[in-house]
Structure formats: C-alpha cells, structure tokens
Amino acid sequence: MKLQKPSSTRLSKEIQCPNIKHGPVNRACFAPHFKLGCMQKIAIATGIGLGTLTASLLSSALGFAFGASSSGSDLNQFVIPFLSMIGSWVSGIGALAAAVVALKIAEGQTKHEHQQDAIRCIHHSLAIINDLRGRVCAMRLMLGEGKRPLLALTRNAETIERRYEMLYDREIYRHVPGKVIDAITGMSGHFFGLSVLVEGIASSIGIQPFEPLPTPHDDSRQPLISTLMKLESELDDLFSQFVKVREAHTG
C-alpha cells in the first residue's frame, strides 16, 4: 500500500490552537511622526534666516539715515565703526542660531531612526513568538490526540528549536530591557532537546514517518505534554512583555 504525503494545507486546518490571541500590530508606529516636527524645525530655521536678513536691511537703512544726517568726520569716526560692529554681531548670532537648529534637526532625526529600528525589531520578535506559540500548541495536540503523521511531529520539533534560536539575535537585545532577555534565556532548557525527546517517542512507537500517530493509551507522553503546556504559558507572557516594550517605544 502506497503512503501519500499529507497536504500541509489540510494539516493546518486540522490543527488549530484557539487559545492563541494575536496581539494587534500597531501599524501607526510606522507613520511619519517625524515629518511634521522636521517641517516645524525647518520653518524655525527659515524664520531665523529671514530675521537675520531683516536685521541686516534695517542696519543698512540706519546707515543711510546716519550718513544723510551726519557730517563726513562724524560718519568716519562714529557711524561706520558702530554699524560694522552691529553687522558683525547680527551675522554671528544668525550663524549660531542656524547651527543650533541644524543640530536639533539632526538629533531629532537620529532619535526617530532609532525608534523605527526598535519598532521593526520588536514586530519581528512578536512574529517569531507567535509562530512558536502555534507550533508548540500543534505539537501538544499531536502528542495528546495522535492521528497526525509522525513526520509532522519530528519536523515541527526541529523547526521549533531553530525558530527559538532567532530570539538570540543581538539586535533584539539593543531594544529590550533585561527582564525580557531573562525571560527569553529562561526558556532554553525547555526548547533545546525537544527534537531528541520526540525522536525517543517516535522510536518507541515504531511506525513509518508518514503513518499517523496512534492515540496514547498510557502516560508515557504526559511529561512532554506538560512541558509543552508550560512553554505555551511562558510564550504568552513573553509576547505580552514585548507588546509593553513596543508601547514604551511608541509613547
């Protein structure tokens, strides 16, 4: 009798974990909040420039007025040095103001880019955790109910271990507090070794990879099922912590 490989679509419909609640993806996090602030700062810089230009024009007007109402000796002795001093002060203040505004704009842009990097990293982590929640739930149902191909169980265990390793990306640790890091590393004892435990169950059953798992008639699978239930609870808590971190970054 030829065994047919089960359809992945059919398996996904058979295995459902209704207890998993996906947190809402805050798409507004990627809205260009910085654009408005940047335009305001550019407007300030433009205003300062116009103010400097106006002051220069006023200085020129005063110069003409003094020149028209003063004698040549007074003009050379008092007016020209005074206007030269005023012009130097005005140009210096204008240059300083422009430099300050430019630094503020650059600082705001750097902060904005860091915030967006953090949000993208957190959303990626939430996607990984959601995938782990679904896979752990599916494995628990496979072990508890049977009736799914043995190959689906073994492959899922290997994928769960690889997916968990993605949470050790150092980019994640740039944006999350130590409490979240401790929660990630604290689950390693449950994740690593899942594939070995599943292989042990598979060898004890003694069936072909594409044959369905038999319904359990004893408690031999219960320790692993209990471990998976604990993992589900820890992943739910980790998901909630990442959501709080995201809210802290978005303000």
Per-residue pLDDT of the chain (251 residues; tens, 9 = 90+): 444 444 444 444 445 565 555 555 444 444 444 444 555 556 565 656 666 666 666 656 655 555 555 555 655 666 567 667 776 777 777 778 778 888 887 777 777 788 888 899 999 999 999 999 999 999 999 999 988 899 999 999 999 999 999 999 988 988 899 999 999 999 998 888 888 888 888 888 888 888 998 988 888 888 889 999 999 999 999 999 999 999 988 86
Cβ contacts of residue 190 below 8 Å, gap of 6+? 227, 230, 231, 234
pLDDT, position 204 = 84
Residues forming beta bridges with residue 212, ordered by sequence position: 149
Would residue 11 count as lying in a domain? no
Would residue 86 count as lying in a domain? yes
For residue 157, give Cα distances in angstroms to 136, 160, 190, 230: 8, 5, 12, 16
Would residue 3 count as lying in a domain? no
Which tokens in the block code for residue 60? 């020129």
Number of domains present in the structure of the chain = 1
Would residue 4 count as lying in a domain? no
Would residue 197 count as lying in a domain? yes
Q: Closest Cα partner for 194 from 151, 136, 128, 134?
A: 136
Would residue 2 count as lying in a domain? no
Owning domain of residue 118 = 32-250
CATH number, domain containing residue 175: 1.20.120
Would residue 24 count as lying in a domain? no
Would residue 182 count as lying in a domain? yes
pLDDT, position 166 = 94
Which tokens in the block code for residue 178? 């130590």
pLDDT, position 242 = 95
The DSSP secondary structure of the chain, one letter per residue, reads -PPPPPPHHHHHHH---TT--PPPP-GGGGS-HHHHHHHHHHHHHHHHHHHHHHHHHHHHHHHHHHHHHS-HHHIIIIIHHHHHHHHHHHHHHHHHHHHHHHHHHHHHHHHHHHHHHHHHHHHHHHHHHHHHHHHHHHHHHHHHH--SBHHHHHHHHHHHHHHHHGGG-HHHHTTS-HHHHHHHHHTHHHHTTHHHHHHHHHHHHT--TTSBPPPP-SSTTHHHHHHHHHHHHHHHHHHHHHHHHHHHHH-
HSE at residue 181, side-chain half, CA atoms within 13 A, is 11
